[in-house]
Amino acid sequence: MKVTQHIERANGKTLFSFEILPPLKGQNIQSIFDSIDPLMEFNPPFIDVTYHREEYEFKELPSGLLQKKIVKKRPGTVGICAGIQNKYEVDAIPHVLCGGFTKEDTENLLIDLDFLGIDNVVALRGDALKNEIYFKPEKEGNAYASDLVKQISNLNKGVYLDEDLQNSSCTNFCIGVAGYPEKHMEAPSMDSDLHFLKQKIKNGADYIITQMFFDNQKFFDFVEKCKKAGITVPIIPGLKPIATKKQLNLIPHRFKVDLPDDLIMEVVKAKDNDAVKQIGIEWCLQQSKALIQAGIPVLHYYSMGKAENIKAIASEIF
């Protein structure tokens, strides 16, 4: 079932969803199931599965030259989605990236997903590789998320890359895209960021999932700005409870989001990471309650494969 259909059928009730990482190469899918099992009592209608593109590693040869090697550290997104739908009978939503894919690769991936009965995808540009300053698209790939959305939307209309195909079948994907309440880190301004978000909706996106935020007012302001820009699709807030002191520096650096001073000082004063985890749970719980009170259709939690703190929050509200 499509995310938009889940929202419509909820009749105003706020739904619970979460996002998981594929395991590191060498681990099996049971590690994923172990992180999902504790959260199934809250009846998530869908679970997101991230995609991690290849990375480059360099090995020094005896000659002194460097050999570039492509490494995929977290493969398995498609297989995990199939496993989730088979085991739990809930919708699994794979992330599909521009980075690391040609347009033909993307088309073939989407055909596989369609054959598996997957109804939803999240279309993302993807991040730059660690050795890159800026994102570099594949030579024959999509450069922007809006281009990827358009390719998926074209498949939904039966338009494939090979124009000579006859009687081609239409896919029927519900397309999610990312939104940034504090703007994308590379956007020069919020207005320009909203301009490109609107382009993704124009190209066929059906809903928005936001980057994590820790101040609900920033989310509400973002929703209002989207409305003024003519964006009317559902906007799902992304939430993450802080769990370690290290994240005080890591989250703003990695994701370019602000942390409220009150939260920062509580974490700074905490005796250890167990205390930090409890602070993060309480903060995220209050965020969640306020969002539910505001009638938000879905709360989406970035679990990062750790269910304990998400379960503590969900137990209070779902």
pLDDT tens-digit series, residues 271-310: 999 999 999 999 999 999 999 999 999 999 999 878 999 9
pLDDT tier for residue 1 given thresholds of 50, 70 and 90: very high
What are the structural domains of the chain?
3-317 (3.20.20.220)
pLDDT of residue 130: 67
4 pLDDT higher than 60:
yes
In a 13 Å sphere around the CA of 50, the CA atoms on its Cβ side amount to: 21
11 pLDDT higher than 70:
yes
Region 233-240: what's the mean pLDDT? 98
Region 67-80: what's the mean pLDDT? 72
Full 3-state SS string of 40-86: HHHCCCEEEECCCCCEEEEEECCCCCEEEEEECCCCCHHHHHHHHHH
Region 127-133: what's the mean pLDDT? 68
pLDDT tier for residue 26 given thresholds of 50, 70 and 90: confident
| Length in residues, the chain | 318
> What is the overall mean pLDDT for the chain?
92
The pLDDT > 70 percentage for the chain reads: 92
The per-residue pLDDT for range 31-73, each reduced to its tens digit, is 999 999 999 999 999 999 999 765 545 555 566 555 545 556 6
Q: Please name which of 64, 46, 63, 52 lies closest in space to residue 9, comparing C-alpha atoms.
A: 46
Q: Please name which of 17, 144, 22, 12 lies closest in space to residue 72, comparing C-alpha atoms.
A: 22
Query: What is the rounded CA–CA span in Å between residue 35 and residue 117?
Result: 23
pLDDT tier for residue 137 given thresholds of 50, 70 and 90: confident
pLDDT of residue 62: 63
Query: What is the rounded CA–CA span in Å between residue 65 and residue 307?
Result: 44
pLDDT of residue 67: 53
Q: Which one has a higher pLDDT value, 68 or 114?
A: 114
Region 212-222: what's the mean pLDDT? 98
pLDDT tier for residue 139 given thresholds of 50, 70 and 90: confident
